[in-house]
Amino acid sequence: MLGNLKPQAPDKILSLMAEYKADTRQGKVDLGVGVYKDPEGVTPIMRAVKKAEQRILETQNTKAYTGLAGTQEYRDAMAGLVLENAPADRLASVATVGGTGAVRQGLELVRMANPDAVVHVSDPTWPNHLSILKFMGQAFVEYPYFDNATRGVDFDAMLAAIGKAKKGDVVLLHGCCHNPTGANPDAGQWDDIAASLEKTGAVPLIDLAYQGFGDGLDADAAATRMLASRLPEVLIAASCSKNFGVYRERTGILMALGEGSEARDLTQGAMAYLNRQNYSFPPDHGARIVSTILDDAELRQDWKTELEEMRRTMLDLRKQLAEELRNLGGNDNFDFIEHHRGMFSRLGATAEQVAKMKEDSGIYMVGDSRLNIAGLNNDSVPVLARAIVEAGV
């Protein structure tokens, strides 16, 4: 039986990581994997996380299962963080195995509710979106998103495309810090997106993986909160991997807003059922860290302070890189890097140019020229800038 399995294509990012590790050159730069790194190249454990874990260690007296949906404390804390004033009469939620698990459970919920739904997904998007959709056999179409000439959002084309969605379809949106491009709609464009969804009756599935990494916790959630207030049905897949730094704890949540308490209860039951079919009870350690932090004023403030430091570090790196490229090239062609938000930017380089940067300068980035800004430091920014110019990007 097992001999009938077909070889699977290796994950491009994991393959890039292995190639980077095998490279013996000094001064090589890893801009591939999407994790935050400090200037020393370490993904740190946040201060509040350490304090919360110590508190849990000292006070926790059982490792028994939580409920199928996870603890109410975690779900309430995350609803407050994402939605601020979460409408209890409309909101159903379940803890998930990371943000990826939340996306998968959200798509499973869509299939249960409407087997004929078509998912509209941005071009480009996070590779796992397409991988999951294809594995599920879920019908999907791509809508234009990134303008390779301006390195911004091709908004007119995007709006025209999502306007073709039908009632009961799903439009997959990135709540902030669009992965892989770093280019986000502005507030007015988000209003236009909401108006389109109101007109078509399509349901947004918002992937919110980077809240706090762009313009701040509340600013990054503004579009999600606006859609939740205007639309009758909204799905939200949120992750704690980046903003709490608990990558390996696989801490996520799926939230669903419906029309009233009856729809809420039906949805809550369906979501708990899906958890049961996939992994029974969700993991608790990361979720308990998050709820411990968010429910304690002192820990929450310390977490927000450190998160803001991380955000500011990435903004400073963006500014430094844009300035280096401006000085080297004598033009403002790369100013878009400073205006992008989050961990990623897409340079608009060809695969050949990306390969040249790797071969000549030890610069490792994904083949579509997505680079992780958080993989840089003050010393490596000039190295990357020279490599970009020498590659003719």
Catalytic annotation, residues = 126, 207, 209, 242
Helices and strands: H and E segment counts in the chain? 14, 13
18 near 351, Cβ under 8 Å? no
d(CA 249, CA 240): 9
User: Cα(71)–Cα(95) distance, rounded to whole angstroms?
Assistant: 8
Q: Are 274 and 108 in contact (CB under 8 A)?
A: yes
Residue 73 near residue 230 (C-beta atoms within 8 A): no
Decide: 231 and 209 in contact? Cβ < 8 Å.
Answer: no
Residue 16 is which amino acid? L
Q: Which one, of 140, 105, 146, 93, lies nearest residue 123 by Cα?
A: 146
- Would you give the DSSP letter of residue 248? G
CA atoms within 13 A on the CB side of 190: 23
Instruction: Using alpha carbons, select from 34, 136, 69 the residue that is nearest to residue 342.
Output: 34
The closest of 71, 82, 68 to 257, measured between CA atoms, is 82
What is the distance, to the nearest Å, from the Cα of residue 331 to the centroid of all Cα atoms in its chain? Answer: 31
Residue 177, number of CB atoms within 10 A of its CB: 25
At what angle are helices 285-294 and 72-83 packed, to 10 degrees? 60
Q: How many CA atoms lie within 13 A of 126 on its CB side?
A: 23
